[in-house]
Amino acid sequence: MERSIPIPTLHLYPVLDELLIELLTSLSPEDWDKPTLARQWSVKDVAAHLLDTSMRFVSLADGFEKQPDKEIKSYNDLISYLNELNNTWVNVMKRVSPAQLIKLLEITNPRYADYYATLDPFSPAKYSVAWAGEETSLNWFHIARDYTEKWHHQQQIREAVGKTAPLMTRELFYPCMDTFMQALPYNFRDVNAQTGTVIHVAVKGEAGGDWFVVKQAEKWVLDKTVPDSRFDTSVSFNPDTAWKLFTKGITPDVALKDSVIKGDAALANGIFKMVSVLAVRE
């Protein structure tokens, strides 16, 4: 019997890629220099980073991989190393024209998706999803994680130029959010609560959904259904607030002001500290 992929996303890669090219080709020269939620990166910088991600995995498909030039002993070491790689690439790409950048994305993105299509979704991935606390992940989760990278970086560009609507659909937004929520149990790992405690996380609207993190005897687990609809704490977000919070686009304090909490508010802290990208929450 064929196994079902928990969060299928690979079929959405071409959809996002087409929307990205349409977006980038519509930008004015001034748009490329606009600041984004990605801190020091402009629209052009974020587009360059998307190209970098694609090219790294196409290189893997070609049998080439650059090994780290420093020892990585911790999650923070990994973040530091990746930030250095990312910034080096972005700085070099400042000398490349937007038109050339678009052409490179058009060439590289299909090969990126084609490479992932060759992988067994249930075999161990080359890279784990560290922000979910995993030391080993399956390929389907790694692919879904990369989908969230494609989604949220494109949305950062769209936020900067005022064209956010195309990605805020059930088809494209919900898989991103569903993947982000896989980090919930890990983020509650140090929260002491009675067995059976239920925390509800809701993202409003047709594109959103409901997730529950439940305290079992020795750990927290993620569920999408709690039969009796009982919960000890419930946190509701607008879609825009949710994706920005989990990608460090806004601070927890800002998200807190734009959310609704019911029940034990202290239990909600783990949600506002959650980061579902390779970054740390200061």
pLDDT of residue 110: 96
Residues 84 and 215 in one domain: no
Q: What is the pLDDT of residue 69?
A: 76
The H or E element containing residue 45 is: helix 43-61
Q: What pLDDT, in 10s, does the model give residues 80-109?
A: 888 888 889 999 999 999 999 999 999 999
Q: What is the pLDDT of residues 13-33, one digit of tens each?
A: 999 999 999 999 999 999 999
CATH number at residue 228: 3.30.1050.10
N residues, the chain = 282
pLDDT tens sequence across 57-87: 899 888 887 777 777 778 777 778 888 888 8
Longest C-alpha distance within the chain, in Å?
58
Total of domains in the chain: 2
Contacts of residue 211, Cβ cutoff 8 Å, sequence gap at least 6: 178, 181, 184, 200, 201, 202, 222, 223, 224
- Between the CA of residue 55 and those of 65, 79, 95, what are the distances in Å? 11, 19, 18
Q: What domain range includes position 129?
A: 10-167
Task: Collect all residues with Cβ–Cβ distance below 8 Å to 262 and sequence separation of at least 6.
Answer: 233, 234
Given 116, 134, 167, the domain boundary residue is 167
pLDDT recorded at residue 223: 93
For residue range 213-229, list pLDDT tens digits in order: 999 998 999 998 876 76
Q: What predicted TM-score, i.e. pTM, was given to this entire model?
A: 0.94
